[in-house]
């Protein structure tokens, strides 16, 4: 199983089959609108603008799993992201990223038995996961690390996923 086998619905209600991301490097993360790390949306948008034409996609998944920091509806989240940070990368419908009802995407990202690399569940909002052009899990990046972290930049710019 790889990441390209999933699908999800955006905040605007559009279903996306992740096979459209074949050939692209992906930064996948869980987000929240009322978190101390929420200003990372600005850095994420900067990263997206700089590298989207080079094959980077950022996929954000709002979640209310950490301290109730994403209480809004999908429409409220969409308005918040656009108005406050000018987000143009895909943001998907709110979902659970932890526990028994976690979304299958985050089960895959969190479990070595599924992704083949490591078991690391989101530690907090803005936990980042890197997925290569072939849909393979690469690694995770801690929530407090900036999206503009040199490790992320070097990975995006490397020729090998």
Tens digit of pLDDT for each residue in 7-29? 999 999 999 999 999 999 999 99
Going by pLDDT thresholds of 50, 70 and 90, the confidence category of residue 1 is confident
What pLDDT shows up at residue 44? Answer: 98
Going by pLDDT thresholds of 50, 70 and 90, the confidence category of residue 160 is low
Burial class of residue 43, CB neighbours in 10 A (0-12, 13-18, 19+): middle
Q: How far apart are CA 14 and CA 128, in angstroms?
A: 23
Q: Using alpha carbons only, how large is the chain's radius of gyration in Å?
A: 14
Q: How far apart are CA 33 and CA 119, in angstroms?
A: 26
What pLDDT shows up at residue 14? Answer: 96
Q: How far apart are CA 58 and CA 66, in angstroms?
A: 21
Q: How far apart are CA 61 and CA 153, in angstroms?
A: 21
Q: What is the mean pLDDT of the chain?
A: 97
Q: Where does 42-93 show beta strands of DSSP type E? A: 56-62
Q: What is the CATH number of the domain that holds 83?
A: 3.40.30.10
Across the range 149-158, mean pLDDT stands at 96
Tens digit of pLDDT for each residue in 56-79? 999 999 999 999 999 999 999 999
- Assess whether 35 carries a catalytic annotation: yes
Rounded to the nearest 10 degrees, what angle do helices 150-157 and 40-51 cross at?
Answer: 20
**3-class SS of residue 77:** helix
Rounded to the nearest 10 degrees, what angle do helices 74-85 and 40-51 cross at?
Answer: 70
> Would the pTM count as exceeding 0.95?
yes
Of these residues, 35, 98, 117, 138, which one is catalytic? Answer: 35
Q: Residue 131's domain spans which residues? A: 3-157
Please report which residue ranges of 4-149 form alpha helices under DSSP H: 40-51, 74-85, 104-110, 112-115
Encoding tokens for residue 71? 């209480």
Q: How many domains does the chain have?
A: 1
Is the separation of the CB atoms in 57 and 88 below 8 Å? no
């Amino acid at each position: 199983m790889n990441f390209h086998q999933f699908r999800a619905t955006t905040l605007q209600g559009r279903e996306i089959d992740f096979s459209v991301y074949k050939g692209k490097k992906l930064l996948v993360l869980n987000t929240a609108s009322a978190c101390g790390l929420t200003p990372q949306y600005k850095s994420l948008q900067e990263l997206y603008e700089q590298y989207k034409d080079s094959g980077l996609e950022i996929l954000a998944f709002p979640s209310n799993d950490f301290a109730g920091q994403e209480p809004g509806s999908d429409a409220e989240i969409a308005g918040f992201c656009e108005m406050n940070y000018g987000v143009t990368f895909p943001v998907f419908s709110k979902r659970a990223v932890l526990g028994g009802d976690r979304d299958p995407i985050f089960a895959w990202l969190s479990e070595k038995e599924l992704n083949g690399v490591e078991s690391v569940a989101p530690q907090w909002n803005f936990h980042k996961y890197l997925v290569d052009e072939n849909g393979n899990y690469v690694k995770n990046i801690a929530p407090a690390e900036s999206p503009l972290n040199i490790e992320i930049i070097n990975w995006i710019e490397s020729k090998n996923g």
